Copies of this chain bind each other. A is one copy, B any other.
Amino acid sequence: MKAHKKLDKQTFHAHLFDGMSVMVGGFMTCGTPERLIDWMLESGVKNLTVICNDAGYPEAGVGKLIAAGRVSTLIASHIGLNPIAGSMMGAETLAVTLVPQGTLAEQIRAKGAGLGGILTPTGLHTPAEAGKSRLEVDGKPYILERPIGADIALIKAREADQYGNLNYAKTARNFNPVMATAANLVFVEATCRSQAMDPETVITPHVLVDYILTEVSDGR
């Protein structure tokens, strides 16, 4: 069994380093592991590349890391509800790469599933095509999109069982399962721990999970 998988703050901090890349689950902070983000803030780690669906809000989600000046590059599908991210982008203190949401999901999946890339029609003739190769398959054009991985992933689960299997709550699922496949180390913040899960309903198999923080009782 991969360690005991229970996460404490010291262990988490030991895995952080300046300039690292971090995937963060969640969609407009629904399904975002806020406590792991707080622990990142406390650690002082900086110059981060953050991969997340969006920029969150100024005071929630990855927005907290952005507002604290810890993020140098953000890869996301939109930043509209975080005006701080918008003005930092304008001021060039934050590099933002905007990616269509479905393409972002596929790029992360490609990394997690060992693909060299995928061909998508999404974004043809738009700024999303800039700097990318266009390929024709059976007479139709596609953009070649490359895999996106990260040093670590921060995942929010509803339940983690004793083996480390995960499930998710409603639309808080979003990017969490795919990000759990695409990072070198996967840190999970779970609302609760259970003994075991119905093997038909596991969403993220325990073999993908490295460390688990349970919201209420662990770690502090």
Contact = CB atoms under 8 A, between A and B. Distances in A.
Given A200-B201, A201-B200, A201-B201, A140 B116 contact: yes
Number of identical protomers: 2
Interface of A: 106, 110, 113-121, 135, 137-138, 140, 142, 144, 146, 167-168, 170, 199-201
Given A138-B146, A146-B137, A200 B167 contact: yes
Contact of A118 (B117, B138, B167): B117
Nearest to A137: B116
Nearest to A106: B115
The 8 closest A-B pairs by CB, nearest first: A116-B119, A116-B142, A116-B137, A117-B119, A201-B201, A118-B118, A115-B118, A117-B137
Nearest to A142: B116
A167 B144 CA distance: 33
Contacts of A138: 146
Contact of A116 (B115, B121, B146, B201): B121
